[in-house]
């Protein structure tokens, strides 16, 4: 990393660094990280890992045995790897470059954590692509999220869980509650699903949904 463009934050006794071209951990990241630290177990997939803050917090749970960090951006994987070394993870790790589950075929996990790009795309957003793909979820904010929901269940072991960050803004109808839409879709997939954490802002409601494979 270029030290002139390296950002830093301390969270839950760990220190994270990242360059300007990687999505900065924010309130949504912290909310999911806390849920991962509490609920994760077994082999954990940190999908769209970015800085690695979710997977590294999951690793603090003694029930977690292995962390797989996955991202389509190789620079994010490099950043997550450096943060894993700096924080002395002490558990087996793998780093996989993939667009969702494209290169994870026939691999199953006990816990999948995902903070998807969930904001509706804005025509006047001229941020670098490496940043926009971390938060931009197409016209309704559900492009990546719905693709993930179509595929993730077959990558969960029996009694495995999904920890999913979701926003009320991610709504296919343009208006409505994207959190309720996602809960409904998960239940239609045959999972038990409920909200286990939330944070309210004046423009959106962000939640962590825990879904369990029956």
pLDDT tens-place string over residues 13-44: 889 998 888 888 889 999 999 999 999 999 99
The pLDDT confidence band at residue 162, using thresholds 50, 70 and 90, is very high
Q: Which residue has the tokens 């940043």?
A: 131
Residues in the chain, overall count: 214
Q: DSSP character for 152?
A: G
Residue 3 is predicted with a pLDDT of 45
Q: Which residue has the tokens 């979701």?
A: 166
β-pair partners for 207 = 166, 198
Which of 33, 90, 97 lies closest to 69 in space, CA to CA? 97
Instruction: Please give the Cα distance from 33 to 28 (Å, whole number).
Output: 9
The pLDDT confidence band at residue 203, using thresholds 50, 70 and 90, is confident
Look up the domain containing 112 and give its range: 3-213
Q: DSSP character for 166?
A: E
Residue 69 maps to which CATH number? 3.40.50.150
> Residue 184 half-sphere exposure, CB side, CA atoms within 13 Å?
7
Residue 187 is predicted with a pLDDT of 95
pTM attached to this predicted model: 0.89
Q: Domain total for the chain?
A: 1
Residue 202 is predicted with a pLDDT of 72
Instruction: Please give the Cα distance from 53 to 41 (Å, whole number).
Output: 16
| pLDDT > 80? residue 141 | no
* 23 in Cβ contact with 165 (< 8 Å): no
Beta strands in 60-184 (DSSP E): 64-71, 93-97, 109-114, 156-167
Cβ–Cβ contacts within 10 Å for residue 53, how many? 26
């Amino acid at each position: 990393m270029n030290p002139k463009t390296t950002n830093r934050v301390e969270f839950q006794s760990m220190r994270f660094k990242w360059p300007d071209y990687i999505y900065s951990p924010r309130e949504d990241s912290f909310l999911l990280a806390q849920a991962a630290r509490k609920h994760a177990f077994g082999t954990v997939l940190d999908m769209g890992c970015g800085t690695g803050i979710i997977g590294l917090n999951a690793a603090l749970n003694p029930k977690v045995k292995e962390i797989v960090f996955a991202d389509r951006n190789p620079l994010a994987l490099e950043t997550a790897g450096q943060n894993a070394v700096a924080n002395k993870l002490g558990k087996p790790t793998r780093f996989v470059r993939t667009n969702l589950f494209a290169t994870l075929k026939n691999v199953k996990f006990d816990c999948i954590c995902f903070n998807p790009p969930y904001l509706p795309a804005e025509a006047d957003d001229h941020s670098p692509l490496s940043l926009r793909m971390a938060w931009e979820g197409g016209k309704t904010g559900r492009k990546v999220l719905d693709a993930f929901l179509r595929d993730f269940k077959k990558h969960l072991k029996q009694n495995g869980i999904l920890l999913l960050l979701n926003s009320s803004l991610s709504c296919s109808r343009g208006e409505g509650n994207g959190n309720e839409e996602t809960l409904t879709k998960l239940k239609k997939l045959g999972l038990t699903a409920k909200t286990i954490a939330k944070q309210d802002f004046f423009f959106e409601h962000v939640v962590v949904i825990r879904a369990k494979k029956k």
